Copies of this chain bind each other. A is one copy, B any other.
Amino acid sequence: MNSQVPSALTAFVRLANAHGAMERAFNQELQAAGRITVTDFEVLRRLADAPDGRMRRIDLAHAVGVTPSGITRLLDGLEASELVGRHHCTQDHRVTYAVITNAGRDVLRATAATHLAGLVALFAERFTQNELNQLVTLLGRLPGADSDLSCPAAAVEPVTVES
């Protein structure tokens, strides 16, 4: 194992371990607070921030970093708990929107308080604001980066949630 390798490997391993540990911790926290997972939380957050509280499923999938089939199953659960609804696009019948419901916003509010506090505390304990910013920009260069698509193709038609 030659001598150029180690830092790249270490970076990857640390990334993986940190992600695993944090995800596990936050999942428990969120499970306790509102019976949702970290990914569910991300979905609700994205929807709540999007215009009209809705997004195309595929954009949502991309935003939270799962595959199209992943978002289907994920939303299956959230639809079953009535935290999001679906809304068919009248212009393009291929696409359907995921729409956050009032119940969804309630759960988001209820969980956001403790979750975000925990998140902030975790980072505040270990980094100065400066270091945190550095971390964010460095992570942003990695593949799969947020791409923070500010929800294109939304805010087009009136919203009517079904089911």
Closest Cβ of chain B: how far from A100's Cβ, in Å?
A: 14
The A89-148 residues at the B interface (CB cut-off 8 A) are 112, 116, 119-120, 122-124, 126-127, 129, 131-136, 138-146
Give the residue of B20, B141, B144, B146 whose beta carbon is less than 8 angstroms from that of A127: B141
Give the residue of B12, B49, B146 whose beta carbon is less than 8 angstroms from that of A10: B146
The answer to whether A7 and B133 have CB atoms under 8 Å apart is yes
Residues of B within 8 A of A5 (CB): 116, 119-120
Q: Is A23 engaged at the interface, CB distance under 8 Å to the other chain? A: yes
Q: How many copies does the complex hold?
A: 2
Closest Cβ of chain B: how far from A80's Cβ, in Å?
A: 24
User: Contact residue range for chain A?
Assistant: 35 or more
Q: Is A72 engaged at the interface, CB distance under 8 Å to the other chain? A: no
The answer to whether A15 and B18 have CB atoms under 8 Å apart is yes
Chain A residues within 8 Å of B, Cβ to Cβ? 1, 4-5, 7-23, 25, 38, 42, 49, 64-66, 112, 116, 119-120, 122-124, 126-127, 129, 131-136, 138-146
Closest 3 CB pairs of A and B: A21-B144, A18-B142, A14-B139
Other A-B pairs, 10, CB within 8 Å; known A7-B132, A11-B135, A126-B142: A1-B112, A8-B116, A13-B42, A14-B136, A14-B140, A14-B146, A17-B146, A19-B144, A21-B144, A135-B135
